[in-house]
Chain A
Amino acid sequence: MKESKKIIEFKNISKSFGDKTVLDDVSLYINRGEFVTILGPSGCGKTTLLRILAGFGTADSGQVLINGVDITDVPPHKRPVNTVFQRYALFPHLDVYDNIAFGLKLKKVPENEIDKRVRKVLKMVSMNDYEDRDVESLSGGQQQRVAIARAIVGQPTVLLLDEPLAALDLKMRKDMQIELKEMHKKLGITFVYVTHDQEEALTLSDTIVVMNEGKIQQIGTPTDIYNEPQNSFVADFIGESNILNGKMIKDRLVEFVGHEFECVDEGFGENVDVDVVVRPEDIYIMNRLDGAQITAKVKSCTFKGVHYEMFVDTDKGYELMIQDYNAFEPESEVGLIIRPADIQVMKKERTCNTFEGEIVDETHVRFLGENFECKAHGLEAGEKVTVQVAFSKVDLIDHPEDGMLSGDVYFMLYKGDHYHLTIMTDDGDHIWVDTNDIWDKGDLVGINIAAKDIKIVK
């Protein structure tokens, strides 16, 4: 019988805690033998998804399949998966040997077989002489190895790893990354790895699944994800990037930072607003100004070990981040070149705020749970409408109590000459704002929208 390539399938998984949606209709399949990393910031739903796969959490709706078998209602102890927990969860009342043998003893594996397998995995994680040690006397890294040994000794179909390296120091983390990768090759089983560390994801994975706000943002190989991010969230989350507003003039020609550039993207249409990503290491910087596409003035230059990181102001007033092996003095005039293949053009996810609303009276419309004053519209009270507000027309104020609505800065993106903020209102709605003011993530803000800026679409 030919085995299907897919080993794990999530079908339309949704989950919310209270009124907070953690997973929003997530569908995903994982191929046999792959090293898959689910990557995202804290609270993006990645751990919840892993817990649903392990059986510790239940989805509100949707199905989980392993090897084509629906395991949605199978309790965790009957699932062919084992987990390496974030804080290891080694049993403190058992020594290293008994921790690893725990699962085998439950399965009534013969004593000599247990002995053989425990010793084999201990050797695999280079902990052969530690079998009689008390787990609490081990260092973090050693506990981690024991936790991995305990999870793989039962020969699971899938190994789940929940931020397993988060508690280790940087050096140890790097070493363990290499070991995990080798272990994956040696064992040949499917690894599902959850982390918020993009570098870890890029190093380890065959496939990366980027998640944010309960939704999958992009699935791809590490190089795909890095070189061709599909939206500004992915571009910003993975590595450093310059994310800019642009306009696709026609196929293979895009305008941003006030200049036109040749690019390799097609099929967006003509004169369409887009987001443009240029990685800081992909901008060529030189002292020569002739032959340059843009001229700029260096604002700052910082040594980062391997390269220098520079911020420059372009001739049209945009700020760009550049990484180069050579240092360019602050205040010096430089020329910049960006190659067509290094420009990543992305469809804009949205071009303005759009809300569901209802007409209250001649001069008021209700949306986001508040009655807003608006221009006369000539519509009947009670009529359902769509309300549009441009990103730049949302006013943010320091004092939440002075605003029509209040919320906090949830996500921010610098777009070369302004910030693009995502504001999460107290009711959990999103409002996107373009502003020149500097806010910090987590700032509490009041939100006002002037009557003239509310556009009502029937």
Chain B
Amino acid sequence: MNRRSSWALPYAIFLVLFVALPLILIMVYAFQDGSGNFTFGNFTKFFTDADAIGTFALSLEVAIENTILCILLGYPAAWILANKKLNRSAVTIVLFIMPMWINALMRTLATAELFHMLGVQLGKGTLLVGMVYDYLPFMIYPIYNILNKMDKSYAEAALDLGATPWQVFWKVQVPLSMPGVTSGIMMVFMPTVSTFAISEFLTNNKIKLFGTIIQENINSSMWNYGAALSLVMLVIIGITSLLQDNKEEVGGGTV
């Protein structure tokens, strides 16, 4: 090992201890029963438990709804922020990004208090509002970034070739900003699938998400079942990030 590559050693140790090892442990636990024998039981238990599947489906549904809401709200916001005519100061961007500086749990608790104060019934509606509030900056930022860096000659070229401003937007600027949108999706969709604190605070545990079930199992020492559920979630996240990789090769954009 030469001198240079020995610098990588601390990082290698870190990766092994905190990434590779836990993953291996999850794999091992997921395929064991309580007394350490190899089994598929944890998975059959999950796939035959209507409640668990229902929670899983609900989690995906909430995550998808949250992501769609974030795109619908975040894209126009990013567009306005990146438009030099509409937004002349960098301060407004900071204002949009600032919530990211505050711990998500504190923001969620504050949101829950706000609903209490206003007398709003906690439920799926408040859950979605809270989630959009928490994750919107993660959607805005990558889209803003890519729109901001986009060469304005693309838009001019499209205008020049006869596109109306509306066509320029749909046929050039939206496709070119897709890498930003996929980054945003990754940053919003993946954490919402596994979230549990937000649903706990914002629905008073009325709605359980997949993350909540994992947390409950682990908390009540059902390590093997919890690990199996985590593995299912990892697979889902793995699939979505594969989609992202493909997109980036096509779009060639960077965020």
Q: Which residues of A contact B151 (CB under 8 A)?
A: 87, 89
Give A403-441 interface residues, CB cut-off 8 Å to B. none
Contact (Cβ within 8 A) A92 B160: no
- In the bound complex, how far is the Cα of B156 from the Cα of A407, in angstroms? 36
Q: Which residues of B contact A107 (CB under 8 A)?
A: 162
Q: Which of B161, B163, B164 has the most CB of A within 10 A?
A: B161
Q: Which residues of A contact B109 (CB under 8 A)?
A: none
Q: Which of A76, A93, A102, A103 contacts B176 (CB 8 A)?
A: A93
Contact (Cβ within 8 A) B153 A106: no
Contact (Cβ within 8 A) B167 A83: no
Interface size on B, residues (CB 8 A): 22
Nearest-CB distance from B150 to chain A (Å)?
Answer: 10
Contact (Cβ within 8 A) B153 A87: yes
Contact (Cβ within 8 A) A82 B161: yes
Interface residues on A, range: 20 to 34
Contact (Cβ within 8 A) A77 B160: yes
A-B CB pair tally, cutoff 8 Å: 68
Contact (Cβ within 8 A) B175 A83: no
Q: Which residues of A contact B178 (CB under 8 A)?
A: 93
Contact (Cβ within 8 A) A93 B156: no
Q: Which residues of A contact B252 (CB under 8 A)?
A: 92, 136
Contact (Cβ within 8 A) A102 B153: no
Contact (Cβ within 8 A) A103 B161: yes
Give A172-230 interface residues, CB cut-off 8 Å to B. none
Q: Which of B153, B167, B171 contacts A89 (CB 8 A)?
A: B153
* A54 at the B interface (CB under 8 A): yes
Q: Which residues of A contact B153 (CB under 8 A)?
A: 85-87, 89
Q: Which residues of A contact B162 (CB under 8 A)?
A: 77-78, 103, 106-107, 154
Q: Which residues of A contact B222 (CB under 8 A)?
A: none
Q: Which of A78, A106, A151 has the most CB of B within 10 A?
A: A106
Contact (Cβ within 8 A) A102 B160: no
Interface string of B176-211 (1 = CB under 8 A from A): 101000000000000000000000000000000000
Q: Could you show 15 A-B contacts with beta carbons less than 8 Å apart?
A: A54-B160, A77-B162, A81-B160, A83-B156, A89-B153, A89-B156, A89-B157, A91-B157, A102-B158, A102-B161, A106-B162, A150-B157, A151-B160, A154-B161, A154-B162
9 more contacts with CB within 8 A, not counting A90-B157, A150-B157, are: A77-B163, A77-B164, A83-B156, A85-B156, A87-B151, A89-B157, A91-B176, A92-B252, A103-B161
B contacts, CB < 8 Å to A: 151, 153-154, 156-165, 167, 171-172, 175-176, 178, 250-252
Nearest 8 pairs between A and B by C-beta?
A: A103-B161, A89-B153, A89-B157, A76-B159, A93-B175, A83-B160, A77-B159, A77-B162
